[in-house]
Structure 1
């Protein structure tokens, strides 16, 4: 217990250092590296074999091809947005005029992220844990081991899919409040073209979010159940080194890290970009811009 507690504290401290000094969220980076460290050896075992068993290079090629396609598909969907246009009216505050601009409200297709598969798999693991306290010859223990402990059973797949859909809508309803968003837009003089401010905007955002959640739930079901389909089709048993949650974590952490790296690059090149425009005569800046030199 002491070693586990101390190791957990050390890892959390290292994650905070990565977040402060590096690019990306520290804990996500550590989880990403932990997955990748055991990912390639397990994937290689499918083709090469292990413990005296022969591998199958055809299955290895199929798994690698499906993995690449799923990663490309996940990256594409995670970057997709439903941009709701927002118009702000002009307001006179004191002697200055504010507003009059057009922007948009970005809504992701998968706003719940990797939470639904994690919650669903965690809840389905509870009956298996309880069954360990019973006798192996009891009927309820046999049923749980045959249906809920087996990830390829019909009961497990059905309950897993239903829980993913439920948590997709439930988690999004917690993180995104249409009423609060509509009130904030109304307070700052914003409105959606063709939609009245207030309750009408809230109903419209709810309608849009329900449609996005439906597409997001289907997307999560596809990604989460692909490993199960491969296990059943190729007869890999439990050798498949990746699951739906693993793919979402790899793609999500990779995209977030690349996005932050790009932002840091643009930030460091921003001053040079302005100075080049000044030298070429395309933009004039105050004397204090560019490091304070006059």
Structure 2
């Protein structure tokens, strides 16, 4: 990995792209320190440090924003509106024929879909900004002015700052796509999550210092570090793992030349859906905690106990989290992969799977393979996501060791270095004529 980065640095063009990407990421981190007017950051930090808010959308948003939400800065919404918009448009592409046709029109169609995604992002950013302002307004002392003309003006400023910050992040991500290295939105998300690393290390150091009072920390802190490193290794292995379905193409003569006859394979990745099932599941399970924060039910009433059962550190949350990740993994893979279409493409190109007849038997065989791999990938994602909950419940330690964060960081790092390697290969390729 470091050798790849060193070799890329020696190429002037790639060096400019790396520096440009770093400059954008620095601007993003500077933006996470620009405060939104009329908000008290101390009240927000106290609210997010409350264990009751650990599993709601606010805590999840603070993780994705790299702590920008807790500091009440203009990048508090992070890229969540764009992520939600992209997921919604991707799902609608399967359900709406017009969008499906647009997606198959090549580069022009993708440009139109990207424009629609931006419009939806603006609407979602406005909606989320208003919702979070409403929630903060209900917190005593979070919003400085809540009535009269000053209250209206402060509401407009806060909502506009949240919304403008979200759209500025999308703009910075697009600049990385055009002039930098890697996927822009993913790189910004990567930078936000990695920025929380020093805080996690500081927490571990504090727990280690508490070992004189509670000796168990002398054992649990090193154990968490070892599990963290082992988890990174497992995620790298599972991210690169794939099931290769062999394909044999028939020979055919066109004029005086013979084409085909080669053997290849269809690669099916074990983790086909990436981190999206975890994002879907965590967002869905965060709704009860967010409702509880909005309505603030009576602490001894039925609704308080019902909504409290969905707290992040409860066994019910872990079980539902595991099941929902499996379900969303199957759902997303079913949308992305169509065995019948894959079988038809093979038959149209004179390709067959050895030992499997073309047509219905081929599609059934591919469907069985995808179903088994989806189960393995879903269990992997669910275990990675639930493991931090189990560790926190056993050790009673609150460490920012989210499985989602680790998968995102490792996945973005691998994709970025793959892109660097491919660009270096293109620049060193001499071609057929030399």
TM-score (normalizing by structure 1): 0.86
2:193 is paired with a residue whose SS is helix
Structure 2 residue corresponding to 1:122, chosen from 283, 287, 291: 283
Q: Cα 1:96–1:175, aligned 2, differ >3 Å: closer, same or farther?
A: same
Q: Deviations over 1:117-156 (max 9, x none)?
A: 11111111112222332522421222211x102x221211
Structure 1 unmatched ranges of 5 or more: 275-284, 290-294
Partner of 1:91: 252
Give 1:215 shift. Answer: 1.0
Partner of 2:403: 244
Asked if 1:133 corresponds to 2:308, the answer is: no
Counterparts of 2:207 and 2:387 in 1: how far apart (Å)? Answer: 22
Aligned CA-pair RMSD: 1.9
Structure 2 residue corresponding to 1:174, chosen from 335, 348, 362: 335
Asked if 1:47 corresponds to 2:205, the answer is: yes
Asked if 1:142 corresponds to 2:305, the answer is: yes
2:195 is paired with a residue whose SS is helix
Give 1:12 shift. Answer: 1.1
Asked if 1:18 corresponds to 2:179, the answer is: no
Mean CA deviation greater in 33-42 or 90-99:
90-99
Structure 2 unmatched ranges of 5 or more: 1-158, 212-216
Counterparts of 2:261 and 2:271 in 1: how far apart (Å)? Answer: 31
2:429 is paired with a residue whose SS is helix
Give 1:94 shift. Answer: 4.7
Counterparts of 1:23 and 1:201 in 2: how far apart (Å)? Answer: 39
Counterparts of 2:171 and 2:297 in 1: how far apart (Å)? Answer: 42
Partner of 1:59: 220
Partner of 2:191: 33
Give 1:54 shift. Answer: 3.8
Give 1:168 shift. Answer: 1.1
Matching of residues 229-240 of structure 1 within 5 Å: 229-236=390-397, 239-240=398-399
Contact kept in structure 2, 1:81 and 1:108, CA below 8 Å: yes
Give 1:57 shift. Answer: 5.3
2:192 is paired with a residue whose SS is helix
2:228 is paired with a residue whose SS is helix
Asked if 1:228 corresponds to 2:386, the answer is: no
| Aligned pairs, number | 269
Structure 2 residue corresponding to 1:155, chosen from 290, 305, 316: 316
Mean CA deviation greater in 213-222 or 27-36:
213-222
Q: State the 4+ residue runs in structure 1 displaced beyond 6 angstroms.
A: none
Counterparts of 1:126 and 1:8 in 2: how far apart (Å)? Answer: 21
Contact kept in structure 1, 2:249 and 2:263, CA below 8 Å: yes
Structure 1 residue corresponding to 2:372, chosen from 211, 228, 234: 211
TM-score (normalizing by structure 2): 0.59
Counterparts of 1:122 and 1:3 in 2: how far apart (Å)? Answer: 23
Give 1:91 shift. Answer: 2.3
Contact kept in structure 2, 1:46 and 1:59, CA below 8 Å: no
Q: Deviations over 1:170-200 (max 9, x none)?
A: 1111111101111111111111011111111
